[in-house]
Structure 1
Amino acid sequence: MALDIKWIKRNIPEGDLQLLTTCNASGVLRLTQSNYGIDQTTYFRNNVFNSLTWIVTDGKEMASATFKLETNGQDRGLFRLNLSHKPSWEAEQSNYTTGLHWGTAIGVIQDDSLIGKTLTLYEAIDEGYDYLITIE
Protein backbone atom coordinates (compact mmCIF):
# COMPACT_ATOMS: atom_id res chain seq x y z
CA MET A 1 0.00 0.00 0.00
CA ALA A 2 1.48 3.36 -1.05
CA LEU A 3 0.17 6.28 0.98
CA ASP A 4 1.49 9.83 1.31
CA ILE A 5 0.37 11.87 4.36
CA LYS A 6 -1.06 15.20 3.24
CA TRP A 7 -2.69 16.59 6.40
CA ILE A 8 -3.30 15.82 10.05
CA LYS A 9 -5.96 17.32 12.31
CA ARG A 10 -5.62 16.43 15.97
CA ASN A 11 -8.38 16.60 18.57
CA ILE A 12 -11.21 16.54 16.03
CA PRO A 13 -14.23 18.47 17.36
CA GLU A 14 -17.94 17.66 17.25
CA GLY A 15 -18.54 20.12 14.41
CA ASP A 16 -16.17 18.33 12.02
CA LEU A 17 -18.02 15.10 12.82
CA GLN A 18 -21.39 16.76 12.15
CA LEU A 19 -22.50 16.16 15.75
CA LEU A 20 -23.59 19.71 16.65
CA THR A 21 -26.73 19.91 18.76
CA THR A 22 -27.24 23.69 19.02
CA CYS A 23 -27.18 24.46 15.28
CA ASN A 24 -27.44 22.71 11.93
CA ALA A 25 -24.45 20.69 10.78
CA SER A 26 -22.84 21.99 7.59
CA GLY A 27 -22.03 18.56 6.15
CA VAL A 28 -18.55 19.90 5.37
CA LEU A 29 -15.13 19.25 6.84
CA ARG A 30 -13.41 22.63 6.68
CA LEU A 31 -9.86 22.05 5.50
CA THR A 32 -7.83 24.41 7.66
CA GLN A 33 -4.26 24.83 8.82
CA SER A 34 -4.82 22.87 12.05
CA ASN A 35 -1.26 23.58 13.22
CA TYR A 36 0.05 21.74 10.16
CA GLY A 37 2.29 24.60 8.92
CA ILE A 38 0.52 25.22 5.60
CA ASP A 39 -1.21 28.10 3.84
CA GLN A 40 -4.75 26.76 4.06
CA THR A 41 -5.99 29.15 1.36
CA THR A 42 -3.96 27.41 -1.36
CA TYR A 43 -2.53 24.14 0.00
CA PHE A 44 -5.55 21.87 -0.45
CA ARG A 45 -6.62 23.13 -3.89
CA ASN A 46 -3.12 23.52 -5.36
CA ASN A 47 -1.20 20.71 -3.66
CA VAL A 48 -3.40 17.99 -2.19
CA PHE A 49 -6.21 17.95 -4.76
CA ASN A 50 -4.46 19.58 -7.74
CA SER A 51 -4.72 16.46 -9.94
CA LEU A 52 -8.52 16.34 -9.74
CA THR A 53 -10.78 17.78 -12.44
CA TRP A 54 -12.20 21.02 -11.06
CA ILE A 55 -15.34 22.55 -12.56
CA VAL A 56 -16.60 26.08 -11.89
CA THR A 57 -20.21 26.08 -10.75
CA ASP A 58 -22.21 28.61 -8.73
CA GLY A 59 -19.14 30.83 -8.29
CA LYS A 60 -16.92 28.15 -6.80
CA GLU A 61 -14.79 25.25 -8.02
CA MET A 62 -16.04 21.71 -7.43
CA ALA A 63 -14.32 18.33 -7.78
CA SER A 64 -14.90 14.79 -6.58
CA ALA A 65 -12.68 11.89 -5.61
CA THR A 66 -12.94 8.41 -4.15
CA PHE A 67 -12.06 8.26 -0.47
CA LYS A 68 -11.49 5.19 1.66
CA LEU A 69 -12.57 5.80 5.26
CA GLU A 70 -11.25 4.05 8.34
CA THR A 71 -12.44 4.83 11.85
CA ASN A 72 -10.98 3.35 15.01
CA GLY A 73 -8.93 0.98 12.84
CA GLN A 74 -11.97 -0.38 11.00
CA ASP A 75 -12.39 -0.15 7.21
CA ARG A 76 -15.66 1.69 6.59
CA GLY A 77 -15.61 1.49 2.79
CA LEU A 78 -15.18 3.66 -0.27
CA PHE A 79 -17.10 6.89 -0.79
CA ARG A 80 -17.27 9.29 -3.74
CA LEU A 81 -17.08 12.68 -2.02
CA ASN A 82 -17.19 16.23 -3.34
CA LEU A 83 -14.77 19.04 -2.63
CA SER A 84 -15.43 22.75 -3.01
CA HIS A 85 -12.99 25.63 -3.27
CA LYS A 86 -13.71 29.34 -3.28
CA PRO A 87 -10.90 31.83 -2.56
CA SER A 88 -13.35 34.58 -1.54
CA TRP A 89 -14.43 32.51 1.49
CA GLU A 90 -11.11 33.58 3.02
CA ALA A 91 -12.48 37.17 3.26
CA GLU A 92 -9.12 38.51 4.51
CA GLN A 93 -9.80 36.72 7.80
CA SER A 94 -7.81 33.50 7.27
CA ASN A 95 -11.07 31.55 6.82
CA TYR A 96 -11.05 28.20 5.07
CA THR A 97 -11.31 28.14 1.27
CA THR A 98 -11.59 24.39 0.59
CA GLY A 99 -14.12 21.99 2.08
CA LEU A 100 -14.71 18.25 1.92
CA HIS A 101 -18.42 17.41 1.69
CA TRP A 102 -19.15 14.30 3.76
CA GLY A 103 -22.12 13.33 1.57
CA THR A 104 -22.86 9.60 1.80
CA ALA A 105 -20.12 9.15 4.43
CA ILE A 106 -21.92 11.28 7.00
CA GLY A 107 -23.38 8.22 8.71
CA VAL A 108 -19.86 6.89 9.24
CA ILE A 109 -18.36 10.02 10.75
CA GLN A 110 -21.34 10.94 12.96
CA ASP A 111 -19.90 8.90 15.80
CA ASP A 112 -19.26 10.51 19.16
CA SER A 113 -16.51 7.98 19.91
CA LEU A 114 -14.43 9.87 17.32
CA ILE A 115 -14.51 13.21 19.19
CA GLY A 116 -10.99 14.23 20.18
CA LYS A 117 -9.31 11.69 17.91
CA THR A 118 -6.85 12.43 15.09
CA LEU A 119 -7.92 12.68 11.46
CA THR A 120 -5.20 11.92 8.91
CA LEU A 121 -5.60 12.52 5.16
CA TYR A 122 -3.41 10.46 2.82
CA GLU A 123 -3.06 10.53 -0.93
CA ALA A 124 -3.27 6.96 -2.23
CA ILE A 125 -0.79 5.96 -4.91
CA ASP A 126 -1.65 3.01 -7.17
CA GLU A 127 -4.63 2.01 -5.03
CA GLY A 128 -8.28 1.46 -5.96
CA TYR A 129 -9.15 4.87 -4.49
CA ASP A 130 -7.73 8.41 -4.52
CA TYR A 131 -7.42 9.28 -0.83
CA LEU A 132 -7.58 7.63 2.58
CA ILE A 133 -9.00 9.30 5.67
CA THR A 134 -8.34 7.67 9.02
CA ILE A 135 -9.82 8.83 12.30
CA GLU A 136 -8.26 7.16 15.34
Structure 2
Amino acid sequence: MEDENQAPVLSLAWRSNSILTVGRFDGTVVDYDFRKDDMFICFYNGHRRGVCSLKWSGLSGRYLASGGHDKLVHIWDACMPVSRHRQRQWLHRISSHTSIVKAVDWCPTRSNLLASGGGCNDHCVKFWNTIMVLA
Protein backbone atom coordinates (compact mmCIF):
# COMPACT_ATOMS: atom_id res chain seq x y z
CA MET A 1 0.00 0.00 0.00
CA GLU A 2 1.56 3.27 -1.10
CA ASP A 3 0.32 6.67 -0.09
CA GLU A 4 1.14 10.23 -1.11
CA ASN A 5 1.21 11.09 2.58
CA GLN A 6 4.67 10.06 3.73
CA ALA A 7 4.15 10.94 7.42
CA PRO A 8 5.30 8.07 9.64
CA VAL A 9 2.63 5.66 10.88
CA LEU A 10 2.15 5.69 14.67
CA SER A 11 -0.94 3.50 15.12
CA LEU A 12 -3.13 0.94 13.34
CA ALA A 13 -6.58 -0.51 14.04
CA TRP A 14 -8.65 -2.97 12.00
CA ARG A 15 -12.32 -2.06 11.74
CA SER A 16 -13.28 -5.21 9.87
CA ASN A 17 -11.66 -7.92 7.79
CA SER A 18 -10.85 -5.42 5.06
CA ILE A 19 -10.84 -1.89 6.54
CA LEU A 20 -7.66 -0.64 8.20
CA THR A 21 -7.47 2.68 10.06
CA VAL A 22 -4.06 4.37 10.15
CA GLY A 23 -2.91 7.13 12.55
CA ARG A 24 0.04 9.23 11.40
CA PHE A 25 2.68 11.50 12.92
CA ASP A 26 1.18 14.59 11.23
CA GLY A 27 -2.21 14.08 12.96
CA THR A 28 -4.05 12.51 10.05
CA VAL A 29 -6.22 9.43 10.46
CA VAL A 30 -7.14 7.53 7.30
CA ASP A 31 -9.37 4.53 6.46
CA TYR A 32 -8.36 2.10 3.72
CA ASP A 33 -10.53 -0.67 2.25
CA PHE A 34 -8.43 -3.47 0.79
CA ARG A 35 -11.34 -4.82 -1.29
CA LYS A 36 -11.24 -1.79 -3.61
CA ASP A 37 -8.81 -0.67 -6.30
CA ASP A 38 -8.90 2.85 -4.83
CA MET A 39 -8.29 1.73 -1.25
CA PHE A 40 -8.63 5.20 0.30
CA ILE A 41 -12.02 5.72 1.99
CA CYS A 42 -11.73 8.90 4.07
CA PHE A 43 -9.71 11.19 6.33
CA TYR A 44 -10.63 11.90 9.95
CA ASN A 45 -10.10 15.60 10.69
CA GLY A 46 -9.30 16.63 14.25
CA HIS A 47 -5.85 15.98 15.65
CA ARG A 48 -3.17 18.65 15.25
CA ARG A 49 -0.26 16.33 16.05
CA GLY A 50 0.60 12.64 15.94
CA VAL A 51 -2.10 10.02 16.50
CA CYS A 52 -0.54 7.34 18.68
CA SER A 53 -3.61 5.32 19.69
CA LEU A 54 -6.65 4.04 17.79
CA LYS A 55 -9.37 1.60 18.82
CA TRP A 56 -12.69 0.63 17.21
CA SER A 57 -15.59 -0.11 19.55
CA GLY A 58 -16.72 -3.67 20.24
CA LEU A 59 -18.39 -5.92 17.73
CA SER A 60 -20.30 -3.18 15.92
CA GLY A 61 -17.20 -1.17 15.09
CA ARG A 62 -19.34 1.94 14.91
CA TYR A 63 -17.21 4.25 17.07
CA LEU A 64 -13.51 4.98 16.74
CA ALA A 65 -11.53 6.42 19.64
CA SER A 66 -8.24 8.16 18.88
CA GLY A 67 -5.61 9.63 21.17
CA GLY A 68 -2.79 11.90 20.19
CA HIS A 69 0.28 13.97 20.88
CA ASP A 70 -2.06 16.99 21.10
CA LYS A 71 -3.36 15.61 24.48
CA LEU A 72 -6.81 15.01 22.96
CA VAL A 73 -9.14 12.04 22.71
CA HIS A 74 -11.56 12.09 19.81
CA ILE A 75 -14.61 9.88 19.33
CA TRP A 76 -15.75 9.38 15.75
CA ASP A 77 -18.99 7.82 14.45
CA ALA A 78 -18.50 5.68 11.34
CA CYS A 79 -22.21 6.08 10.54
CA MET A 80 -21.94 9.85 10.13
CA PRO A 81 -21.76 11.00 6.51
CA VAL A 82 -18.42 11.87 4.94
CA SER A 83 -17.97 15.29 3.30
CA ARG A 84 -17.53 15.68 -0.45
CA HIS A 85 -13.76 15.86 0.23
CA ARG A 86 -14.00 12.44 1.89
CA GLN A 87 -13.38 13.89 5.34
CA ARG A 88 -15.06 12.80 8.56
CA GLN A 89 -15.51 15.21 11.49
CA TRP A 90 -15.14 14.08 15.11
CA LEU A 91 -18.27 13.50 17.14
CA HIS A 92 -16.77 14.43 20.51
CA ARG A 93 -13.46 15.87 21.74
CA ILE A 94 -12.13 15.16 25.24
CA SER A 95 -9.40 17.50 26.47
CA SER A 96 -8.76 16.35 30.06
CA HIS A 97 -5.27 14.87 29.67
CA THR A 98 -2.15 16.90 30.46
CA SER A 99 0.17 14.80 28.32
CA ILE A 100 0.19 12.71 25.14
CA VAL A 101 -2.69 10.21 25.08
CA LYS A 102 -0.72 6.99 24.68
CA ALA A 103 -3.59 4.49 24.78
CA VAL A 104 -7.35 4.20 24.29
CA ASP A 105 -9.50 1.10 24.65
CA TRP A 106 -13.19 0.21 24.81
CA CYS A 107 -14.41 -2.04 27.62
CA PRO A 108 -15.26 -5.53 26.25
CA THR A 109 -18.24 -5.97 28.60
CA ARG A 110 -19.68 -2.42 28.73
CA SER A 111 -19.75 -1.01 25.21
CA ASN A 112 -20.22 2.57 26.43
CA LEU A 113 -17.07 2.61 28.60
CA LEU A 114 -13.86 4.06 27.13
CA ALA A 115 -10.50 4.22 28.92
CA SER A 116 -7.68 6.58 27.94
CA GLY A 117 -4.16 6.70 29.30
CA GLY A 118 -1.83 9.68 29.42
CA GLY A 119 1.92 9.87 29.04
CA CYS A 120 4.84 10.95 31.25
CA ASN A 121 3.33 14.18 32.57
CA ASP A 122 -0.16 12.74 33.09
CA HIS A 123 0.41 9.41 34.88
CA CYS A 124 -3.25 8.38 34.84
CA VAL A 125 -5.96 6.33 33.22
CA LYS A 126 -9.28 8.10 32.75
CA PHE A 127 -12.65 6.44 32.19
CA TRP A 128 -15.41 7.92 30.03
CA ASN A 129 -19.07 6.97 30.01
CA THR A 130 -19.70 7.58 26.32
CA ILE A 131 -23.48 7.39 26.75
CA MET A 132 -23.15 10.72 28.57
CA VAL A 133 -20.50 12.03 26.16
CA LEU A 134 -22.37 11.03 22.99
CA ALA A 135 -25.84 12.09 24.19
- TM-score where L is the length of structure 2: 0.26
**Bigger fraction of residues in strand:** 2
- Name whichever structure is richer in helix by fraction: 1
Query: When the two structures are superposed, what TM-score results if normalisation uses the length of structure 1?
Result: 0.26
Of the two structures, which has the highest relative contact order with CA contacts closer than 8 Å and spacing of 6 or more? Answer: 1
